[in-house]
Amino acid sequence: MNRESVQSSLPHGRQAGVCLHITSLPGPYGIGEIGAAARHFIDQMVSMELSVWQFLPLGPTAYGDSPYQPLSTFAGNEMLVDIGNLVDLGLLDDDEVAELTTLPERYVDYGALIPIKNRLLYLAASRFEATVRHALLDDFGRFLERNDAEWLHDYALFRILKTRHGERPWPEWQAEYVHRDASALARLENREAARLRGLKIIQYLFFRQWFELRDYAHQRGITLFGDMPICIALDSSDAWANREMLRLDEDGRPDAVAGVPPDYFSEDGQLWGNPLYDWDKHEADGYSWWVDRLRATSELTDLVRIDHFRGFEAYWSIPADAETARTGAWEPGPGDAIFDAMRAALGNLPIVAENLGVITPEVEDLRERHGIPGMYVLQFDVCDPEFRLEDVADNSVCYTGTHDNDTTIGWFHGSPDDIRGKEEIQHAQRAVLQMTGGTAETVHTDLIRAAFSTPARLAIAPLQDYLGLGSEARTNVPGTPGGNWRWRVIDTQLSDKFCDNVASLVIISERGISCHGASNKK
């Protein structure tokens, strides 16, 4: 594969963006959704002069509500479906959705939300074919033609079986379903025909709304920046239907699982528990599943961050019965071959590498050979005495912090979840104040300015940093099983004055939408 013509996936010019997961959007129905609230946020981004919206994986979540352990690589998270749109389509009425409006505005109460919203989604799906216009029915038919045999039917079966087995992981189901006995599945399909159809309609509604949002973003000049976990969950339709691509025995039990060694976030490392890929089998069929995966993601987003990129060079393999990630060992990944195969099928790759953690020269060489942008996270880099803002690579994304970091305010002051000692926190405080020339009161804005000042083509801060929020607004604490992915912004926080202040910050840095030729403002 000739790599001489490889181009960066990043937008042209120096641009600025925001990281905010869809669930964190404001709105009346208990969780951020992909309809009116998302379009309004895009309008607010334009007024803030921000041109790139980064969000977390869009797949359906399960235990722990983590978007990085989705029940499917290809399905959409039903909880993100816009309820207001279903009312507009005549599939639900205001009285039926009123219960959702009693849920909290400032955080997602998944335990209360999920049963209510699932009931409403199935109700809407049951009315779909008798209610909507013919053009929508035809569009649904085309959706089935494209997706049913590829992933949709397996996903719908998986969700029904998971519910029938008390939401337990599929290796704990009845044996005939664990082993996908054809006659048992045929009987299930016959008994559950209506529910199968309903699940497929709900997925259609998600993707219809998403493509409308994508088109709106493009009309407003906004780049959508998604996220792809390198691993898939064992408890997923992908693993259940395609177990041959994983290191699993005939009963679905892994011999080893994924994670990372001890690092900044955890003294024992992180024991993710995801099954490992059988890379020899992927190589034998030309990495076709990966090609399909990246193609599907690229249809939804303009850019995609691959989480834990270093696993393509070597990954941390942990015995399946281990209690912590300390006992793992490095094993070789697929290396160049997987990127050569994806580029041969798809052209230049819209990938950004999450190259954090234990990064070796071999990992960086792999990334650079394929022209894939890397990441800088100033909360990490600021304490490195050799780090200089001006040395940040052009072909990179520079962050204040990511969804796994504390907010900049929380990081600066320390929090109960902080694994750093008092001296480490004080060292970070001195280092960031020296680097930015700022103050403790303005450290969040000062660190954003620092990221914007770098040569990086793209600089991003979480919305919490633009807002100057503390640890109470943190998105995720890695290595903790609960209480994550809950934070939401509320409408009043995104005032016109706030948007104007962000716009001034961006324009001064010459990263604004209007700095690239023409403003998209209405």
Cα–Cα distance for residue pair 281/116, rounded to 1 Å: 42
- Could you list the residue range(s) of the whole structural domain that residue 291 is in? 242-372
What letter would DSSP give residue 246? B
Within a domain: 399 = no
pLDDT at res. 5: 62
> Token pair of 60, please?
């359906």
Within a domain: 219 = no
Cα–Cα distance for residue pair 502/463, rounded to 1 Å: 10
pLDDT at res. 518: 41
Tell me which residue of 345, 115, 350, 333 sits closest to 227, measured CA to CA: 350
The three-state (H, E, C) secondary structure of 97-141, written as one string? HHHHHHCCCCECCHHHHHHHHHHHHHHHHHHHHHHCCHHHHHHHH
Active site residue 93: no
Within a domain: 165 = no
Residue 430 makes CB contacts below 8 A (sequence gap 6+) with: none
Beta carbons of 121 and 202 less than 8 angstroms apart: yes
Cα–Cα distance for residue pair 78/114, rounded to 1 Å: 9
Angle at 171 between CA 196 and CA 164, to 5 degrees: 35
Q: How far is CA 126 from each of CA 87, 96, 121, 412, 487, rounded to the nearest angstrom? A: 14, 14, 9, 51, 32
Choose, from 404, 406, 446, 465, the residue flagged as catalytic: 404
> Token pair of 254, please?
């892994």
CB atoms < 10 A from the CB of 226, how many? 20
Cα–Cα distance for residue pair 315/276, rounded to 1 Å: 9
Bridge partners (DSSP) listed for residue 107: 487
Within a domain: 323 = yes
| Residue 167 backbone zone (phi > 0: left; psi -120 to 50: alpha; other: beta) | left
**SS3 for 39?**
helix
Active site residue 404: yes
Cα–Cα distance for residue pair 233/240, rounded to 1 Å: 10
Within a domain: 491 = no
pLDDT at res. 419: 83
pLDDT at res. 478: 84
For 140-166, letters b (16+ CB in 10 Å) and e give beebbeebeeebbbbbbbbbbbbeeee
Beta carbons of 30 and 109 less than 8 angstroms apart: yes
Outline where DSSP puts E strands in 303-395.
303-307, 314-319, 329-332, 351-353, 374-377
**SS3 for 289?**
helix
CB atoms < 10 A from the CB of 344, how many? 12
Choose, from 307, 313, 340, 465, the residue flagged as catalytic: 307
Q: Phi and psi for 343 in degrees, rounded to 5?
A: -70, -35
**SS3 for 271?**
strand
CB atoms < 10 A from the CB of 522, how many? 7
Beta carbons of 297 and 343 less than 8 angstroms apart: no
Bridge partners (DSSP) listed for residue 349: none
Q: Percentages helix, strand, coil for the chain, rounded to the nearest 5?
A: 50, 10, 40
Tell me which residue of 400, 379, 78, 57 sits closest to 228, measured CA to CA: 57
Cα–Cα distance for residue pair 300/250, rounded to 1 Å: 34
Angle of helix 110-131 relative to helix 193-219, nearest 10 degrees, comes to: 100
Angle of helix 361-369 relative to helix 336-346, nearest 10 degrees, comes to: 20
For 6-20, letters b (16+ CB in 10 Å) and e give beebbbeebbbbbbb
Beta carbons of 485 and 43 less than 8 angstroms apart: no
Burial class (CB in 10 A: 0-12, 13-18, 19+), 413: middle
Half-sphere exposure of 450 (CA within 13 A, CB side): 29
Within a domain: 286 = yes
Cα–Cα distance for residue pair 46/514, rounded to 1 Å: 9
Choose, from 82, 354, 406, 446, the residue flagged as catalytic: 354
Per-10-residue mean pLDDT for the chain, 522 residues long? 69 94 98 98 98 98 92 98 98 98 98 98 98 96 98 98 97 98 98 98 98 98 97 97 96 94 79 95 97 97 96 96 93 97 95 91 96 96 95 97 96 90 95 96 98 98 98 91 94 98 97 68 35
Active site residue 394: no
Into how many domains does the chain fold?
1
Outline where DSSP puts E strands in 177-239.
223-229
Within a domain: 415 = no
Within a domain: 316 = yes
Q: Which long-range contacts (CB under 8 A, 24 or more apart) does 141-148 make?
A: 143/203, 143/204, 143/207, 143/208, 144/200, 144/204, 147/74, 147/203, 148/200
